[in-house]
Chain A
Amino acid sequence: MSKMNLTRRGVIQTGAVAGAAGLTLPTYLRADGHSGFTNAPEGSSVTLGFNVPQTGPYADEGADELRAYELAVEHLNGGGDGGLMNTFSSKALQGNGILGKKVEYVTGDTQTKSDAARASARSMIEKDGAVMITGGSSSGVAVAVQALCQEAGVIFMAGLTHSNDTTGKDKKANGFRHFFNSYMSGAALAPILANNYGTDRKAYHLTADYNWGYTTEEAVRTSTEAMGWETVAAVKTPLTQTDFSSYIAPVLQSGADVLVLNHYGGNMVNSLTNAVQFGLRDKQVNGKNFEIVVPLYSRLMAKGAGANVKGIFGSTNWHWSLQDEGSKAFVQSFGTKYGFPPSQAAHTCYVQALLYADAVERAGSFNPCAVGEALEDFEFDGMGNGPTLYRGEDHQCFKDVLVVKGKENPTSEFDLLEIVEVTPTSQVTYDASIFGGELGACNPGA
């Protein structure tokens, strides 16, 4: 009784009846995970849990993540054109499921709330026997679900989460992140900003008043100040703010000539729309053109902001217009199935699913500890971001970061960003210890 035991599958017979009153039938009592880890798949299939926002403001992003997962499952089971499996440097995956087991999946709704996300992750682990949880589109959810998976003894492959905390102070041995983070955004953006806007700039930050905002502001500030920029002011804005006029109006008075919007999602759409509305970009300050920077871009958010993104710099994890073989294969595969190009959220989720499957194949086991070991310090290529390292110390992927700009003349509703620069891995790598946190030991559960 005292062992953590969350599984449904792989029942073994012990013949003992303990404490269940009024039972006269012969019963099978599951006392322990025979295989030594939570939800060890038995039989011919393995269940993965896709935990994405299906309601709430990030529902569209979640829908795209879900499409990517469905595609990944199809490819893993040998369907479709195989997608990135053809370009992936590791050739462990055979298209016959994972370790010969057919991949099945269950879905849940995170609602972009940590409570709801944990509830749905727990239901997938406890009820559906999911051996891995993946997905999500905010750092709050990622950190919460990651901690849960650590406790339950399953692997968590993070979806879209950009805060340093996920693989920083809140990192966990069972959690892995392919997506980049605030630090990398800052490090990648700063040189490009200096090249384009000069090193003598005065920046005004508007920062979403929560963890992700703080780390992003910090990252961009540090790296731009290192280039010679001055930070005039940094103002925190409430998460629930919808109209940013009172924050944007004083920007020009401050003498700043660059506005950095450390916002994501609806906040970013609204603050950027408001800033452009105020005509900031038509202004001349200190003899220079006034500029706006959005550290973290996503195509879906760019779509929400419409024409306002034109010419605005930002960073992104991946973009469908990349021309490497991996990206092309993924866009081809996704686009053929769904009729439009994938978002960066879709990409990172698809890649995470494949990386997990590959790690299981290489480890020869679904045991989270074995899988974790296979992922740690794993180097791979052909997944769309160039050569990539899954660093063992913090379970963070290190790869090239894209600096993008809102496109001036989009040809379609998906063609909103253009790649300005691919910042090489070496420029965005940092020491794993700078964000603190403790990875702890891997937990196989049962």
Chain B
Amino acid sequence: MGILDVKGVGKRFGGLQALGDVNLSVAENSVHAIIGPNGAGKSTLLNCLVGKLIPDTGSVMFDGQSVLGRKPYEINQMGISRVFQTPEIFGDLTVMENMLIPCFAKRDGAFTPNAYAAMRKDTEMLDRAGHMLEEMNMADKRHMHAASLSRGDKRRLEIGMCLSQEPRLLLLDEPTAGMARADTNNTIDLLKQIKDDRDITIAIIEHDMHVVFSLAERITVLAQGTPLVEDTPDKIKGHPKVREAYLGESQDAA
């Protein structure tokens, strides 16, 4: 039993079988990567985990509770935070406010009509958000509009926002997609540090093998909607099936 158990999940879009029969278990406090060529169903699987999609068959259990049929915000409140492929932040708000929102969501729940409360007096929240910004090395940018941050900073901010909720499971959807090598390495370092600093489970969907092999403790290879193999990074590296799946893909990509 892992913290996240996916059993027999299948999803069809019209005539397309996006997910076949996915079985997956993510162990608590591990870093688990899901890799696979384009169209393998990685994103569909992720969307099934966070409530954006409801699978046609199977079950998804988080910490012993089913997430199926729950809304994204409910699943988040259960302890799953998601980082998007392109950073999803509140662009019109300041960096500080971006960080405050998840803090409030963690403390006050999905809806609190605290329309009369003065935010600037809520030192608990301000401190928590401030600490998180410091941890992310963004304290000096707290008054900037989030939209004006660099791509790398946006990514940091988004990860920081997720972490401020103290999630038990952090889902990352290709966190380094489109990044320059330097930024990618920074992100890897950041994730490693996160892993070292706290008790957290990380599930990562990734394309970039460099990232995967730097971070993951276990890897599931997905192809055509079904898990091909699941094993440790070392074993995966030399696995013939993986090579086959990836060779085909790399030719396409060229």
A and B touch in the complex (CB under 8 A): no
A: which residues have CB within 8 A of B?
none
